Structures are given as C-alpha cells and as structure tokens.
C-alpha cells in the first residue's frame, strides 16, 4: 500500500506576500468594494495598479495556458490559492471609506 505524506503548503503559499514589495504588486491583494455593495461589476473598484479580482483572472489565464513556462504556471497556482484566501478576509475586500483597512495591508 502506498503511503501519502501530508506536507503543509503554508510556506509556499506565502510567496505572494513575501515578494509583494519587490514586485510592487501590493494592490493585487485586495479590492476596495464599498460597504453595502451586493452585486454588479467590480471593475470600477479595481485601481490602475490592479486588484485581487483582476489578479485572480490574470493568474488563472497563466495557469490554463499549457504552453506557458512551467515555473510561471507553478507560481500562478500559488498566487491563485493565496488570493482566494485574501478575498475571504474582510479587510481585503471591503472599504468603509474611513482608511482603517489600509492599516492592515
């Protein structure tokens, strides 16, 4: 019987946070959706430097591209998993227009 060993992904999934300053992609980690917004297009809340929803789509496209560099595809999956986690953190996905969320970024 073959044994499978669980290896935590924690360190590998922190890559996007580890390189955010050097790659200057901090805005990829959040989107400022106004409190009370329940549906509709989110692109108007995505700044010129990007946002998490745009970054998810870009990384998804890299991952789907079978001709892309394997290292880029491996990095894309790390970004995707990380960004989905970011989207589930309230201060990464909403703004109350009070600047409080910027303290946590």
Considering its fold, how many domains does the chain have in total? Answer: 1
30 in any annotated domain: no
Supply the range of the domain harboring residue 58. 43-105
pLDDT above 50 (res 6): no
**Alpha helices for the chain (secondary structure H):** 10-13, 15-18, 52-64, 70-87, 90-93
Tens-digit pLDDT profile for residues 35-48: 887 788 888 889 89
7 in any annotated domain: no
Q: How far apart are CA 98 and CA 105, in angstroms?
A: 14
Tens-digit pLDDT profile for residues 44-95: 889 899 999 999 999 999 999 999 999 999 999 999 999 998 888 777 777 7
């Amino acid at each position: 019987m073959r044994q499978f060993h669980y290896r935590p992904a924690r360190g590998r999934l922190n890559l996007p946070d580890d390189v955010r300053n050097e790659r200057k992609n901090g805005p990829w980690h959040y989107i400022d959706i106004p409190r009370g917004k329940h549906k509709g297009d989110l692109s108007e809340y995505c700044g010129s430097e990007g946002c998490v929803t745009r970054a998810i789509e870009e990384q998804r496209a890299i991952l789907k591209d079978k001709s892309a560099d394997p290292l880029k595809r491996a990095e894309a999956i790390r970004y995707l998993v990380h960004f989905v986690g970011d989207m589930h953190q309230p201060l990464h996905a909403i703004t109350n227009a009070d600047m409080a969320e910027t303290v946590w970024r």
